Amino acid sequence: MEAALMRIAVGGSADRSDQELAERAVSGDTRAYEQLVVRYQRLVYHVLWSRGGDPQEIEDLAQETFMRAWERLHTYDPAQPFKAWIARVAGNLAIDHYRARSRRPILVELPDEETAPLQGGEADPALVAQALDDQRGLLQALQQVPPLYREALVLRFVEDLPYDEIATALDLPLGSVKTRIFRGRELLKQRLIAAGRETATASGA
Amino acid sequence: MDTQQRDIPCTEPETLFLYSEGLLEPAETREVAAHLAACPACRERYLVEAEFSVSLRALPLPAPGADFAAGVGDRIRAGMRSRTPQWWWLAAAVLALAPAGLWLAAGGASATGAGVALIDFVVSLVRWPLVLAGWLSSAQGWADLGSAAEALLSAVAASPAYLATCIAAAVIVAVCTNTLLYIGARRALILKR
């Protein structure tokens, strides 16, 4: 009964804006904060997934993200979208986590890769279109793209964040975000076609 | 018009991407749109770009369980409950240990040294309010108390352990004050949450 009442209370704040919920949370309303968690838990999961890690690790880091965000909520500027702020908290937490574990998936900067010409030129659109039918193959290809590109792609195309919000989330200039997303897409297309070719070879052999 | 459109070179991959994302300037957008209308190959590339975005949007990425948000909320509330008393215990411990710390600070000195430290500590606490009160009220009695405190301080100043105990007392008072201020601030923050 108590749990049901609690859910009603949480549901009552469903139509409030992120900024309003954040202001209530700063003044001690944990239910308002819970509503923000409901709104952005998927986004945080996806950011953490794009940074690597197994399902358990993603869940632990997602919890830590929201705990850290709660502790630092007074630093959140309501003029900025909460979505971009929480994505940044998650991304920074993942960087700290993997750096502490001395694992490789996190690269803070990719200066050469940002400016160097793409290898292999443009992927054949016909082959890309063909490969898009295989959703699992697309997911696997995305996992092979370097994490920083992957995160930008996920924020843009899975989470549908506008470019300026991605710039805030990744703490990058707008131009770099556009370049990173374009290059990430091209890399993904190349991986996708390569995977399709390998599958065709394996089934032909 | 056809001639003009055929003269436009085939769209660069990055330009086509920026076009599909609506990131080009209006003039460039018009230029690319005109080219796409005339060039089937580029139109095909553009359609693949759009399809690519749709496919990415539909990817089945891992998602949290139904009780994830409630779990975060419970964890926050549990943390608030458990943290508050801890700070009060710490405050109580600091206050309880302050006299002992004072005594220890005078350690190595004689029992007189420790006694002096204690007297100095107490006197320094009461001296200035008394002097100030005397000055404000101009009442002779208060002023006398202030003078007595001054005299007591002068007397203990003769002790060899005076300097060490003064420093120790100052450090302890500073530590206690800062700890209490920190606890106050922390508690205000926790209660705010």
pLDDT surpassing 60 at residue B113: no
Interface contact flag, B61 A128, Cβ < 8 Å: no
Shared domain check, B104 and B164? yes
- Average pLDDT, stretch B166-188? 72
Domain total in chain A = 2
pLDDT, residue B158, reads 66
Which of A13, A132, A155 is best to mutate for the B interface (most B CBs within 10 A)? A132
- The 10 Å CB-count burial string (b at 16+, else e) for B131-159 is beebeeeeeeebbebbeebeeebeebeeb
CATH no. for residue A88?
Answer: 1.10.1740.10
pLDDT, residue A112, reads 47
Domain total in chain B = 2
Residue A47 sits at the vertex; the CA angle it makes with A40 and B23, to the nearest 5 degrees, is 90
In a domain, A149, yes or no: yes
Shared domain check, A96 and A46? yes
Shared domain check, A133 and A174? yes
Pairwise CA distance, residues A192 & A197, whole Å? 9
pLDDT, residue B175, reads 78
In a domain, B72, yes or no: no
pLDDT surpassing 80 at residue B9: no
| Secondary-structure percent of chain A, ordered helix, strand, coil, rounded to 5 | 75, 0, 25
Pairwise CA distance, residues A129 & A196, whole Å? 11
Shared domain check, B119 and B32? no
B16-39: pLDDT as tens digits: 999 999 999 999 999 999 999 999
Pairwise CA distance, residues A135 & A150, whole Å? 16
In a domain, B74, yes or no: no
CB–CB contacts below 8 A, A to B: 103
- What are A32's two structure tokens? 């308002």
In a domain, A108, yes or no: no
pLDDT, residue B138, reads 62
Chain A CB contacts of B36 under 8 Å are none
pLDDT, residue B2, reads 43
Q: Determine the residue type at A118.
A: L
The last residue of one of the domains, among B17, B42, B57, is: B57
Rounded to two decimals, the ipTM of the complex is 0.79
Pairwise CA distance, residues B77 & B50, whole Å? 45
In a domain, A109, yes or no: no
- Average pLDDT, stretch B113-124? 61
pLDDT, residue A187, reads 93
A88-140: pLDDT as tens digits: 999 999 998 988 876 555 444 444 455 555 666 677 887 888 778 788 889 99
Shared domain check, A94 and A132? no
The last residue of one of the domains, among A40, A70, A100, is: A100
In a domain, B125, yes or no: yes
Cα–Cα distances in Å, from A93 out to A52, A66, A67, B29, B174? 12, 10, 11, 39, 36
Shared domain check, B93 and B50? no
Interface contact flag, B57 A157, Cβ < 8 Å: yes
Pairwise CA distance, residues B97 & B166, whole Å? 18
Interface contact flag, B61 A62, Cβ < 8 Å: no
- The 10 Å CB-count burial string (b at 16+, else e) for B85-122 is eebeeebeebeeebeebbbebbeebeeebbbbbbbbbe
In a domain, B156, yes or no: yes
Which of A10, A41, A48, A60 is best to mutate for the B interface (most B CBs within 10 A)? A41
Shared domain check, B169 and B95? yes
In a domain, A24, yes or no: yes
Q: Which of A49, A129, A182 sits opposite B14 (nearest CB)?
A: A182
Shared domain check, A86 and A32? yes
pTM passes above 0.90: no
Q: By residue range, what is the domain housing residue A67?
A: 2-100
pLDDT surpassing 50 at residue A11: no
Residue A6 sits at the vertex; the CA angle it makes with A4 and A7, to the nearest 5 degrees, is 65
Predicted confidence band of residue A7 (pLDDT cuts 50, 70, 90): very low
Shared domain check, B120 and B38? no
Pairwise CA distance, residues B186 & B192, whole Å? 10
Shared domain check, B107 and B28? no
pLDDT, residue B127, reads 64
Percent residues over pLDDT 70 in chain A: 82
A79-88: pLDDT as tens digits: 899 999 999 9
Which of A24, A46, A64, A66 is best to mutate for the B interface (most B CBs within 10 A)? A66
A167-197: pLDDT as tens digits: 999 999 999 999 999 999 999 999 988 887 7
Shared domain check, A80 and A151? no
- Average pLDDT, stretch B100-117? 55
In a domain, B62, yes or no: no
In a domain, B63, yes or no: no
pLDDT, residue B109, reads 46
In a domain, A173, yes or no: yes
Shared domain check, A126 and A83? no
- Average pLDDT, stretch A31-58? 93
Shared domain check, B140 and B89? yes
Pairwise CA distance, residues A151 & A154, whole Å? 5
In a domain, B12, yes or no: yes
Pairwise CA distance, residues A170 & B180, whole Å? 39
Please answer whether residues A20 and A80 qualify as being in contact, where contact means their C-beta atoms are separated by less than 8 angstroms: no
Shared domain check, A85 and A126? no
Percent residues over pLDDT 70 in chain B: 48
Q: By residue range, what is the domain housing residue B46?
A: 2-57
Shared domain check, A138 and A93? no
CATH no. for residue A196?
Answer: 1.10.10.10
pLDDT surpassing 70 at residue B193: no
Of A47-51, B44-48, B92-96, the one with minimum mean pLDDT is B92-96
In a domain, B176, yes or no: yes
For residue A118, what are the contacts with CB-CB under 8 A and spacing of at least 6? A183, A186, A187
The last residue of one of the domains, among A100, A133, A162, is: A100
B36-93: pLDDT as tens digits: 999 999 999 999 999 999 999 989 899 999 999 999 999 998 887 765 555 666 776 6
Shared domain check, B49 and B111? no
